[in-house]
Chain A
C-alpha cells in the first residue's frame, strides 16, 4: 500500500507442533510479525519478540481467526508469517490485507474477506490511509478492520483523542476505505482463479 511493502506466507493446515496447544474442536491459528532491519528510515537492528511485534502479531491473529472457519480443521495448525519489507505507515492494515490474500491463495476456508484501513484527522480534515509522516504529525490514527460482505467490524484501534462526532466520521471513512480495498482484492482473486483455471485447461 503505497510505500509500505509486506510479504505474508501461510503454512497449513498442518500438524500441530506443540501438542499441548492442540485443540480438538478447531484449528490453531498462529501469527508472527517481523520487520526487516532495513524497513524503517533509520536502520535499526530489530529484536525478535519485542513488544510491538508481539502486539501486532496478536492483533493480526485475532482478526484472521474471526474469519477463518477453524471448526472445519480440528487438531491442525495454520501459521501466518508476516514480513515487513518497507514501513511507511499503515503497516498493520497492509499486513491484514496481505494475510487475507495469502489465506485465500492457500485455499483456507474463510467466512469473508477481511480488509483493513487507517484513517486520521489532521487540520480539521479526515484523512484516509495515513503514511508515516502524517502519522507522526500527532493527530489521531484510527485502524479499522472489517468483514466486507457481512459489514462487521473485527478490528478497531485508535490512539490520541478525538471528539465523538468526528470519530464517527473518521471511522466511516476508514470503513469505506476498507470496502474499496475489499473490491480490489476480490478482483485480484478472481483474476488469479481465472488464470489457474486456464492453466488447468478448464
Chain B
C-alpha cells in the first residue's frame, strides 16, 4: 500500500463524516461479496470469498485423532491463518507472522468459545466417534491471497461457507476392545454435512473520527483510531468480541457499536446464506 498524503487522509476522514466514502458506499454498507465453494478439491471443504479486492481462501481438513482427556465427548478444531506474500510484499519471509497470529487467535476466540469448550459456534460434539478414544480433528486453514482491509470478516465468512461445504466421511466402528484404539472404517462415500446455522459471522466496525464504518478498505483502516470486531450468530447472540487499536473508547460508544454490528450482521448472514445456497445449487 502506497503511503497517503495529507490531502488524501483528509478526504477519507471527511467522506466518512458525511456518510459518503471514497468508493461511494455508505458507512454501514459492505462491498460486494462473491463466494466460490469447493476450490480445493483435496480438502473436505473449502471456500474462496472475495470482498472487493480482499481475497481469502479457507480450507477444512478432517483427520482422525484422539479427543483431549478434559473433554472426551468433543472433537477438536484448530484454526490457522497464513498471510501469503502475494497479498503484500511485507508478508514475505516471517513478515506476515504477527498478523497471521493475530487473525488466528481472533478467529479462535470467536468460533471456538471459551477454554472449557462451552459456547462454541461449531458444535464439537458432532465430531466425536467413540467417546474418549476417537474423534475428528478439524484443521481450518485460512490463506490471505490479496489484502485490501477487513481480513477478519472475510476469513470468518470464508470459514462459514467452507463449513457448509464440508463433508465428513461416515465412520463405522469395528470391534472395539476396551483399552486399545478401536478400529474405524472410514467410508469413501461421504458425508455428513455440517450444520452451519449456528456458526457466527464477524463484523468489524472501524472508528474513524467520530463515526464508525463497516468493511473498511486498507486505506480507511490506516486512518482508524480503534476497531471492534463482533462475532454474531443467526439468533443475534454475540459469540466473541475483539477490540483493536490504541484509542480509548467510551463505554456507551462500545455498546452502541455492538448494537450496530448486531443489525449489520443479520444482513451479512442473509447475504452469505443466499450465496451458499446459490453455490450449492450450481454444484448439483
Contacts and interface: CB of A to CB of B under 8 A. Distances in A.
Interface stretch (B24-32, B81-89, B168-176, B255-263): B81-89
A43 B40 contact: no
Interface stretch (A29-37, A120-128, A183-191): A29-37
Contacts of B46: 38
A43 B45 CA distance: 13
A83 B145 contact: yes
Interface stretch (B55-63, B219-227, B242-250): B55-63
A85 B61 CA distance: 14
A128 to B, nearest CB: 22
A82 B87 CA distance: 11
A9 interface: yes
B194 interface: no
A38 B60 CA distance: 8
B2 to A, nearest CB: 10
B24 to A, nearest CB: 21
Contacts of B92: 32, 79, 81
A107 interface: no
Contacts of B42: 3, 38, 40-41, 86
Given A38-B40, A41-B42, A43-B63, A83 B143 contact: yes
Interface string A2-14: 0100011101000
User: Interface size bucket, B side?
Assistant: 20 to 34
A164 B30 CA distance: 62
A34 B82 CA distance: 10
Interface residues of A, number: 23
Given A11-B89, A36-B141, A79-B89, A85 B82 contact: no
Contacts of A43: 61, 63, 139, 141
Contacts of A82: 86
Contact of A48 (B41, B63, B94): B94
Most B CB atoms within 10 A — which of A40, A42, A48? Answer: A48
A45 B97 CA distance: 14
Nearest to B87: A9
Most A CB atoms within 10 A — which of B43, B59, B80, B84? Answer: B84
B251 interface: no
Contacts of A3: 41-42
A36 B86 contact: no
A81 B40 contact: no
Contacts of B43: 38
A41 B63 CA distance: 11
A34 B141 contact: no
Interface string A27-71: 000001010111011110100110000000000000000000000
Contacts of A49: 93-94
B85 A9 contact: yes
Contacts of B94: 48-49
Given A32-B85, A38-B59, 16 more contacts: A9-B85, A32-B92, A34-B82, A34-B85, A37-B139, A38-B61, A43-B61, A43-B141, A49-B93, A79-B85, A81-B89, A81-B92, A83-B143, A83-B145, A85-B39, A86-B40
Interface of A: 3, 7-9, 11, 32, 34, 36-38, 40-43, 45, 48-49, 79, 81-83, 85-86
Interface of B: 39-43, 46, 57, 59, 61, 63, 80, 82, 84-87, 89, 92-94, 97, 139, 141, 143, 145
12 contacts: A8-B86, A32-B93, A36-B57, A36-B82, A36-B143, A37-B59, A37-B80, A38-B61, A81-B86, A81-B92, A83-B84, A83-B85
